[in-house]
Amino acid sequence: MSYYNKCPHCGAALDPGEKCDCQAAPADIAARRQAIKECIDHALNGADLHEMQIIWQFVSKYCG
């Protein structure tokens, strides 16, 4: 059983001591979003078929 805190503002699950993004400044959110996107792009470029299928489980709901 894993322990986590809940954000009082949006209800997101947070690791102990983690601060929720929902209270961050818009510029911080945009920068963090861009950093994550670049990491995902990098991961996709290096992924093999099995890894792509794992990713597909997450993204397929957006692709009908």
Interface residues with Zn ion (CB under 5 A) are 7, 9-10, 12, 20, 22
Nearer to Zn ion, 12 or 31 (CB): 12
**Distance of alpha carbon 7 from its chain centroid, rounded?**
16
Nearer to Zn ion, 9 or 50 (CB): 9
Nearer to Zn ion, 6 or 37 (CB): 6
Residue (of 11, 45, 9, 4) closest to 37 by Cα position: 45
Work out how close the CB of 18 gets to Zn ion at its nearest, in angstroms, rounded to a whole number: 10
Contact 9, 19 (CB under 8 A): no
